Structure 1
Amino acid sequence: MSSKGLPSMSPLAGKDRAVVQLLLDAGTCPRCVLRFCSVGSQLLYRHPLQDLMKDLQEFLKNSQEKEDTVCLDVADPPCKRLRLEHKEEGAAELNHNGAIPQLPSAGNTALQSSAGRVCNVCLGILQEFCEPDFVKKVCQKVNSADYQFTSFVFSVSLPPQLSVRERAAWLGVKQQMRNLGLPLAKDDIVQLKEAYKWIIHPQLSEELGVPADGKSLFEVSVVFAHPETDEECHFLATACPDCFKPAKNKQSVFTRMAVIKALERIKEEDFLKYFPCPPSSPKNLCDALDIQCNNGAVFVAGRYNKYSRNLPQTPWIIDGERKLESSVEELISEHLMAEFKADSFNFSSSGREDVDVRTLGNGRPFAMELVNPRRIHFTAEEMKRLQQAINDSSDKIQVRDLQLVTREAIGRMKEGEEEKTKTYSALIWTDRAIQREDIAFLDDIKELRLEQKTPLRVLHRRPLAVRCRLIHSMRCEYIDQHHFRLRLRSQAGTYPGLARQGWLGTGSGLGQDGWRPESSGARPWNLGVIAKGPAASSELAQEKEREWERG
Structure 2
Amino acid sequence: MHPKTIYSLPRELLASIIYRIPVDSTLRSISQCSKQLFYSFLSDVKFATAHIHHHLQLNDNLNSKLHDRENIARHSGYRIARIHWSALPLVYKTAILGHVFRRLGSKHFREFLTEFECVDGFRMDSQSALIVVDRLWEQRALQKSRAMVWACRFGHLDAVKFLIDVVNLDPSIQDDKPFRIACEHGHENIVRLLAQDKRTRPNANDNDAIVCAARGGHLSTVDFLLKIPAVNPAARDNAPMWEASRNGFADVLKLLMTDARVDAADRDGDALVQAAKYGHVGVVEVLLKGDCVDPSSQEGKALYWAQARGWADIVALLQQQDVRDHAYSFYTSMVLTQLLSPTILQHLPSAAQAVASKLNEIGCCRVCIVRLLGVRKQRLFVALCSPVTTDATGIADTVSTAPPSASVTAATATPDAAPASSISSSACPACLNLLSHASVSAAVARAHALFSQKPSRGLSSFLVSVRVPVQLALRAHAIGRIVEKVIGPDVTPFANVALRDPKRFDLNDPPKSESASAATAILNDPLDNQPFSIHGHQIEVKEVLKHLLIHHLEQTLNLPFESSSALQLEIGFDHPETDTEYDFMGAIKKCGLNVRKKRKRVREGSLWRKMRDDEHGHIRIEGATWNHIVHAAENLSYEDYEEHGYLPLKAFPSLCAIGELKFLHFSLWLAGRYNKYNRTISNSRMEFKGERLAQESVEELLALHVDKFFGADGHKFSSAGREDVDVLMLGSGRPFYLEIVNPRVLDATPLELKQVQDLVNSENDGKIKVSDLQLVGKHDTKPLKDSAATKRKSYSTLVRLSSGVTMDQLNAISKLKDLELKQQTPIRVQNSRSDMVREKIIHELNVVPEDEGVFEDQERKFSLVRVNLTTSAGTYVKEFMHSDGGRTVPSLKELLAVESASVETLDVLHVFLDWPPPVI
TM, length-normalised to structure 2: 0.47
Contact in 1 for aligned 2:678/2:728 (Cα 8 Å): yes
Aligned match of 1:243: 594
Deviates more, 1:390-399 or 1:257-266: 257-266
Give SS of 1:27's match: coil
Any idea what the Cα deviations from partners look like across 1:422-454, whole Å, max 9, x if unmatched? 233445545255462686367346441312213
Task: Could you tell me which runs of 5 or more consecutive residues in structure 2 were left unpaired when the two chains were aligned.
Answer: 1-297, 306-337, 390-395, 409-424, 499-536, 602-616, 850-859, 909-920
- Local SS of the residue matching 2:724: coil
Please give the residue correspondences for 1:97-496 in structure 2 after superposition, counting only pairs within 5 Å.
112=405, 117-129=426-438, 132=441, 135-148=444-457, 149-176=459-486, 178-180=488-490, 183-184=493-494, 185-187=496-498, 188-239=537-588, 240=591, 243-246=594-597, 251-252=618-619, 254=621, 258=625, 260-266=627-633, 267-269=635-637, 270=640, 273-274=643-644, 276-395=646-765, 396-426=767-797, 429=801, 431-432=803-804, 434=806, 436=808, 440=812, 443-444=815-816, 446-456=818-828, 458-459=829-830, 462-477=832-847, 480-482=860-862, 486-496=867-877
Are the structure 2 counterparts of residues 308 and 16 from structure 1 closer, same or farther at C-alpha, using a change threshold of 3 Å? Answer: same
Aligned mates of 2:547, 2:430 — CA distance in 1 = 18
Summarize the Cα distance change of 1:25–1:374 in structure 2 as closer, same or farther, 3 Å threshold: same
Deviation at 1:311, TM superposition (A): 1.5
Q: Is the 8 A contact 1:226 1:285 kept in 2?
A: yes
d(CA) in 1 for partners of 2:442, 2:816: 81
Equivalent-residue separation in structure 2 for 1:181 and 1:316 (angstroms): 64
Distance 2:811 2:900 in 1: 12
- Kindly tell me: are residues 430 and 56 of structure 1, through their superposed partners in 2, closer, same or farther at Cα, counting changes over 3 Å? closer
1:44 CA displacement: 1.9
The residue matched to 1:410 in structure 2 has which SS? helix
Structure 2 letter corresponding to 1:310 = T
Distance in 1 between residues matched to 2:405 and 2:350, nearest whole Å: 22
Return closer, same or farther for 1:354/1:254 CA change in 2, 3 Å cut-off: closer
State which structure, 1 or 2, has the greater radius of gyration over its C-alpha atoms: 2
Q: 2: distance between equivalents of 1:501 and 1:351?
A: 22
Q: 1:264 to 1:367 in 2, by over 3 A?
A: same
- Alignment partners' CA distance in 2, 1:176 and 1:210: 46
CA drift of 1:412 comes to 2.4
Give the distance between the partners of 1:118 and 1:383, measured in 2 at CA: 53
Alpha-carbon distance in structure 2 between the residues aligned to 1:515 and 1:39? 80
- Give distance in 1, aligned partners of 2:755 and 2:683: 23
Query: What is the CA-CA distance between 1:532 and the residue it aligns to?
Result: 5.4
Aligned to 1:34, which of 367, 370, 375?
A: 370
Task: Supply the distance in 1 between the matched residues of 2:655 and 2:453 (Cα, whole angstroms).
Answer: 26
- The residue aligned with 2:355 is 19
| Partners of 1:256 and 1:152 in 2: CA distance | 32
The SS at the match of 2:701 is helix
Q: For 2:547 and 2:435, how far apart are their aligned partners in 1?
A: 11
Give yes or no for contact 1:158–1:225 (8 Å, CA) kept in 2. Answer: yes
The alignment partner of 1:293 has SS state of strand
The CA deviation at 1:393 is 0.1
Report what 1:61 is aligned to: none
Distance 1:505 1:430, change over 3 A: closer
CA distance in 1 between counterparts of 2:813 and 2:771 reads: 42
Residue pair 2:813, 2:845 contacting (<8 A) in 1 also? no
One-letter amino acid matched to 1:8: S
Q: Give the Å deviation of 1:332.
A: 0.4
TM-superposed deviation, 1:348: 0.9
- Quickly say closer, same or farther: Cα 1:257–1:217, change in 2 above 3 A: farther
Whether the aligned pair in 2 keeps the contact of 1:453 and 1:465 (CA below 8 Å) is yes
**Letter of the aligned partner of 2:357 in structure 1?**
Q
Question: Once the two structures are aligned, what percentage of the paired residues are identical?
Answer: 26
CA distance in 2, matches of 1:56, 1:180: 26
> Partner of 1:374: helix, strand, or coil?
coil
Query: Distance in 1 between the 2:848 and 2:547 partners?
Result: 80
1:221/1:291 contact within 8 Å kept = yes
Deviation at 1:404, TM superposition (A): 1.3
Counterpart of 1:235, as a letter, is: F
Q: Are 1:224 and 1:289, in contact at CA under 8 Å, matched by a contact in 2?
A: yes
Shift in Å at residue 329 of structure 1?
A: 1.1
Q: Contact 1:303/1:365 (CA < 8 Å) preserved in 2?
A: yes
Alpha-carbon deviations, 1:188-245, whole Å to 9, x = none?
Answer: 2111111122223222101111111222121223322212222211123333566323
In the TM superposition, residue 466 of structure 1 has moved relative to its aligned partner by 2.2
Between the aligned partners of 1:194 and 1:342, the Cα distance in structure 2 is 30
The alpha carbon displacement at 1:400 in A equals 0.6
1:525 to 862, 877, 898: 898
- Which protein has the bigger helix share? 2
381, 402, 405: which one aligns with 1:45: 381
Q: Secondary structure at the match of 2:779?
A: helix
- Are residues 486 and 262 of structure 1, via their aligned partners in 2, closer, same or farther at CA, if it must alter by over 3 Å? same
- Any conservation in 2 of the 1:25–1:110 contact (CA below 8 Å)? no
Q: How far has the Cα of 1:15 moved from its partner? A: 2.0
Cα distance change on mapping 1:507 and 1:164 into 2, 3 Å: same
What is the deviation of 1:166?
1.3
In 1, the alpha carbon distance for the partners of 2:844 and 2:476 equals 73
* Contact 1:160–1:256 (CA under 8 A) maintained in structure 2: no
Cα distance 1:439–1:245, how it changes in 2: closer, same or farther (>3 A)?
farther
Larger relative contact order (C-alpha < 8 A, sep ≥ 6)? 1
Alignment check: 8 A CA contact 1:426 1:529 kept? no
